[in-house]
A = this chain, B = another copy of it.
Amino acid sequence: MGLTGGFKELRPAYGFDDVAIAPGSVTVNPELTDVHFSIGQFTFDFPVLAAALDASVNPFLAREMGKRGGLAVMNLEGLQCRHDDAEAAIQEVVAAAQEESAAVIQRLTAPPIKEELIGRRVREIKENGAICAVSCTPANTKKLAPIAVDAGCDIFVVQSTVTTARHLSRSVRGLIFQELIANIQVPVVVGNTVGFEPTRELLECGIAGVLVGVGPGAICTSREVLGIGVPQITATIECSAARDDYYRATGRYVPVITDGGMRNGGDVCKALVAGADAVMLGTAFARAEEAPAKGYAWGMSTGHAALPRGVRIKPGSDTTLDRLLFGPTSRTDGSENIVGAVQTCMGMVGAQNISELHDAELIVAPSIKTEGKIYQQAQ
């Protein structure tokens, strides 16, 4: 045995900036493309979900998403179900000085989750007929899921940094997804996960959707603190392969939702070509005028009592839900008209629906900025 044999192998992984989509031999008029996607019995008009951040999703934004045929997920463990006047709590975070903001978020996240508020928020979301999705972590799921479902929630999301079908702990019985699904009778979406095997095992539990993404950003807390992180293109490709494998074995198609790290319409298109059925965006929705926090954003973990992660950022309130999703836009940076971008991309690669978009080609083509662009075409 020498240097060339028997070592731990490292497989390559790719993120959004590493790849690009290649056109194919057919083009399609974008008007002909179909971008709907489904979770369980529910079908949505476009494949872009709003993530369960207090700064992005409150009942109002969830209703507005519903009006447009989309889906927003509300976090049961954030401010909404701890404060009667959640909007006042959000404004308190917004009003805090930057250096105080983490402490303010921690303080406002300290009060207990009120069961009656879960019911109230669910009913607020459903006021005008929107499909209601709420989320919590595995630790609170057994307690909160039945309350939310009783109140009328349509889709339940179980979400933590890394969620697997098999969790070892000292407690007598942790969360068993099969039991949860058998008990609550609404589609259960679970995440986040990466990798073929972990996803395949979650699918076997009977879940109705899977959220893909663990530490996807090049610079993110999980990567610096824990060394853990899988770039989203590779994560999406592998989880989608698990979805296809499960579908071939069972005939049940479970959507893969890429969650995190996408910065513009191009990244969303790449996630879909990599195999995602939909994407989940956080900060993008915080930028809409309809969002609760006036252009500020912070993460699910910023209010953690013992190990707060992330800080309040201010992406700015510079768009509307309509412009963000459907345009029209005068911007050329891909920050608006995400659905339009997906349809235009589908046209260029000749895909008439998201399933055909999965067949488009991805190439490894790093986007490195170069200097001295003397002759670059102005086309």
Please tell me if A229 contacts chain B, counting CB pairs below 8 Å: yes
Q: Could you tell me the distance between the alpha carbons of A121 and B237 in the complex, rounded to whole angstroms? A: 51
Please tell me if A81 contacts chain B, counting CB pairs below 8 Å: no
Stoichiometry (number of copies): 4
Expressed in whole angstroms, the minimum distance between the Cβ of A258 and any Cβ of chain B is 11
Instruction: Give chain A's interface secondary structure class.
Output: loop
Q: Could you tell me the distance between the alpha carbons of A285 and B123 in the complex, rounded to whole angstroms? A: 54
Expressed in whole angstroms, the minimum distance between the Cβ of A19 and any Cβ of chain B is 6
Q: Which of the residues B17, B21, B169, B333 comes within 8 Å of A226, measured between beta carbons?
A: B21
Q: Could you tell me the distance between the alpha carbons of A282 and B2 in the complex, rounded to whole angstroms? A: 31
Give the interface segment out of A88-96, A148-156, A160-168, A176-184.
A160-168
Q: Which of the residues B237, B302, B372 comes within 8 Å of A333, measured between beta carbons?
A: B372
0 or 1 for each of A190-225: is its CB under 8 Å from B? (1 = yes): 000111111001000000000001111111010111
**Taking A269-B228, A363-B12 as contacts, is the C-beta distance between A20 and B223 under 8 angstroms?**
yes
Q: Is the CB of A21 within 8 A of B227?
A: yes
Please tell me if A256 contacts chain B, counting CB pairs below 8 Å: no
Please tell me if A41 contacts chain B, counting CB pairs below 8 Å: no
**Taking A11-B364, A29-B169, A378-B299 as contacts, is the C-beta distance between A225 and B264 under 8 angstroms?**
yes
Give chain B residues whose Cβ lies under 8 Å from the Cβ of A162.
23, 27, 348
Please tell me if A295 contacts chain B, counting CB pairs below 8 Å: no
Q: Is the CB of A282 within 8 A of B379?
A: yes
Q: Could you tell me the distance between the alpha carbons of A238 and B23 in the complex, rounded to whole angstroms? A: 13
Q: Is the CB of B376 within 8 A of A217?
A: yes
Give chain B residues whose Cβ lies under 8 Å from the Cβ of A70.
none
Q: Is the CB of A227 within 8 A of B267?
A: yes
Q: Could you tell me the distance between the alpha carbons of A216 and B377 in the complex, rounded to whole angstroms? A: 9
Q: Is the CB of B328 within 8 A of A307?
A: yes
**Taking A20-B228, A162-B23, A345-B226 as contacts, is the C-beta distance between A7 and B377 under 8 angstroms?**
no
Q: Which of the residues B3, B263, B335, B373 comes within 8 Å of A263, measured between beta carbons?
A: B373
Q: Which A residues between 325 and 379 are near B, CB-CB below 8 angstroms?
A: 327-330, 332-335, 337, 340-341, 344-345, 348-350, 352, 361-379
Q: Is the CB of A25 within 8 A of B197?
A: yes
Q: Could you tell me the distance between the alpha carbons of A335 and B225 in the complex, rounded to whole angstroms? A: 8
Q: Is the CB of A374 within 8 A of B198?
A: no
Q: Could you tell me the distance between the alpha carbons of A341 and B49 in the complex, rounded to whole angstroms? A: 31
Q: Could you tell me the distance between the alpha carbons of A238 and B286 in the complex, rounded to whole angstroms? A: 43
Q: Is the CB of B369 within 8 A of A227?
A: no
Q: Is the CB of B241 within 8 A of A29?
A: no
Closest to A266 in B: B227
Expressed in whole angstroms, the minimum distance between the Cβ of A62 and any Cβ of chain B is 18
**Taking A13-B20, A14-B10, A365-B231 as contacts, is the C-beta distance between A377 and B226 under 8 angstroms?**
no
Give chain B residues whose Cβ lies under 8 Å from the Cβ of A229.
20-21, 365
Q: Could you tell me the distance between the alpha carbons of A253 and B372 in the complex, rounded to whole angstroms? A: 35
20 other A-B residue contacts (CB within 8 Å) besides A12-B363, A32-B170: A3-B197, A8-B274, A10-B362, A22-B214, A23-B195, A25-B195, A25-B197, A31-B170, A32-B168, A218-B368, A219-B367, A225-B264, A225-B332, A225-B341, A226-B265, A228-B345, A231-B363, A263-B375, A282-B378, A283-B376
15 contacts between A and B (CB under 8 A): A2-B197, A22-B230, A24-B164, A24-B195, A25-B197, A28-B167, A224-B332, A226-B265, A227-B269, A229-B365, A282-B376, A283-B375, A306-B328, A310-B379, A334-B374
* 5 shortest interchain CB distances as A-B pairs: A227-B269, A227-B266, A29-B169, A260-B377, A225-B334
